[in-house]
C-alpha cells in the first residue's frame, strides 16, 4: 500500500518529518523508494535538470505524464506527486481539472502540485472536488521566473510575507492537502507551518517545516550549472561518473578493456 495524504497528516500531528525528493526516471525513483522516503515529486524541474532547459517553462503535459508513469512503475510504497507544468492549469479551471486528471489517470500520480496562491484558488477547489489531492506551492514559484526576474528570496518585505501567509490559509481552505514553501525566510515558514493544519514541505525555507524536499540531481551533485545556497550536496556523483567514463575511454584506447574476464 502506498503512503497517502492521511499518513502525511498523521506525521504532522505526531511531529515526525516528511521526506521528499524529486525523481524523473526508473533508476532514481527506485533508489528513493529503497531509501525509504515518504514522497517523490516528479517536478517540472525535469525541464532544467534532465532536459537541459534554462527554466521550468518548456516542459509539456505529455512529458510530465511520460516521466510520472516511469516513476510510478519503479515504486510501490512511496507517494508520487506530479507537477502540473506551466500553462497546463493557468488558462481555466476546466483545463486545470482535465490536466490534473490526466496526470492521475494516465501517469498514475497520487497527487498533483500547482504553483501560486489566490489566483489559482478556484483551480485548487475544482481539482479537489474531482477527488484529486492538490499540493500548493508558495514563495519562489519557478514558473513565475519572468515576473520575479530570477530565482530570488521571497517574503522578505512585510507586504510580501503577509500575502504568502494569507495565500497559505486560502489554499488550505480550498482543499490543498499540503503546501511546498520555497526560498522564504525560516521564521516566515515557521509561522505558516504553525498556523496550518495541513503539512508544509520546505525547500530553502529553513528547519521548521513539516517536511523537506530537494531536487535529487542537486543532492547527488549531478547538476553543475548553479548551486543555490539551500542545497546540500551529499555527494559529487558527477565527478565520480567523469572519472569512470574517462577511465573506460583510456582502457579502450590502450586495449586494456575488454580483458579475458569480460570476454567469451
- Our finding on whether 215 is near ligand KIV (CB under 6 A) is yes
- Our finding on whether 23 is near ligand KIV (CB under 6 A) is no
- Give 43 or 126: the residue with its C-beta nearer to ligand KIV: 43
Among 124, 203, 205, 209, binds ligand KIV (CB under 6 A): 203
Which CA distances in Å does 80 have to 39, 173, 204, 241?
6, 23, 21, 28
Among 38, 44, 210, 218, binds ligand KIV (CB under 6 A): 44
Binding mask 145-164 for ligand KIV (x = CB under 6 A): --------------------
Give CA 90 to chain center in angstroms.
19
The answer to whether 38 touches 20, Cβ cutoff 8 Å, is yes
Which stretch in 36-44, 92-100, 233-241, 243-251 sits in contact with ligand KIV by CB under 6 A?
Answer: 36-44
Q: How far is the CB of 117 from ligand KIV (least distance, A)?
A: 15
* C-alpha to C-alpha distance for 109 and 59, rounded to whole angstroms: 17
- Our finding on whether 120 is near ligand KIV (CB under 6 A) is no
Among 33, 83, 167, 210, binds ligand KIV (CB under 6 A): 83
- Please confirm, yes or no, whether 166 is among the known catalytic residues: no
**What sign has the CA pseudo-torsion 36, 19, 23, 106?**
positive
Q: What DSSP state is assigned to residue 205?
A: S
- Give 38 or 83: the residue with its C-beta nearer to ligand KIV: 83
* C-alpha to C-alpha distance for 161 and 75, rounded to whole angstroms: 37
* Other CB atoms within 10 Å distance of the CB of residue 244: 10
Q: How far is the CB of 141 from ligand KIV (least distance, A)?
A: 8
* C-alpha to C-alpha distance for 141 and 121, rounded to whole angstroms: 16
Q: How far is the CB of 175 from ligand KIV (least distance, A)?
A: 20
- Give 126 or 136: the residue with its C-beta nearer to ligand KIV: 136
Among 23, 209, 213, 222, binds ligand KIV (CB under 6 A): 213
Q: What DSSP state is assigned to residue 130?
A: T
Chain residues that interact with ligand KIV, rule: CB under 6 A: 22, 41, 43-45, 83, 180, 182, 203, 213, 215
Amino acid at each position: 500500500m502506498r503512503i497517502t495524504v492521511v499518513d502525511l497528516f498523521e506525521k504532522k500531528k505526531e511531529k515526525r518529518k516528511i521526506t521528499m525528493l524529486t525523481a524523473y526516471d526508473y533508476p532514481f525513483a527506485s533508489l528513493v523508494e529503497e531509501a525509504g522516503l515518504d514522497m517523490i515529486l516528479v517536478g517540472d524541474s525535469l525541464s532544467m535538470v534532465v532536459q537541459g532547459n534554462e527554466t521550468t517553462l518548456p516542459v509539456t503535459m505529455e512529458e510530465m505524464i511520460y516521466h510520472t508513469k516511469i516513476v510510478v512503475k519503479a515504486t510501490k510504497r512511496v507517494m508520487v506527486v506530479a507537477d502540473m507544468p506551466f500553462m497546463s492549469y493557468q488558462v481555466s479551471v476546466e483545463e486545470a481539472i482535465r490536466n490534473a486528471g490526466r496526470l492521475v489517470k494516465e501517469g498514475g500520480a497520487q497527487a498533483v502540485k500547482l504553483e501560486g496562491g489566490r489566483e489559482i484558488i478556484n483551480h485548487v477547489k475544482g481539482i479537489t472536488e474531482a477527488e484529486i489531492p492538490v499540493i500548493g506551492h508558495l514563495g519562489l514559484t519557478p514558473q513565475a521566473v519572468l515576473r520575479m526576474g530570477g530565482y530570488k528570496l521571497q517574503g522578505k518585505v512585510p507586504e510580501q510575507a503577509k500575502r504568502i501567509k494569507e495565500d497559505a490559509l486560502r489554499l488550505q481552505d480550498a482543499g490543498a492537502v499540503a503546501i511546498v514553501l520555497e526560498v522564504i525566510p525560516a521564521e516566515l515558514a515557521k509561522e505558516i507551518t504553525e498556523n496550518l493544519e495541513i503539512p508544509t514541505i520546505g525547500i530553502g525555507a529553513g528547519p521548521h517545516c513539516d517536511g523537506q524536499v530537494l531536487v535529487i540531481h542537486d543532492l547527488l551533485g549531478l547538476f553543475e550549472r548553479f548551486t543555490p545556497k539551500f542545497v546540500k550536496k551529499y555527494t559529487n556523483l558527477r565527478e565520480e561518473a567523469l572519472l569512470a567514463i574517462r577511465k573506460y575511454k583510456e582502457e579502450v584506447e590502450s586495449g586494456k578493456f575488454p580483458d579475458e574476464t569480460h570476454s567469451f
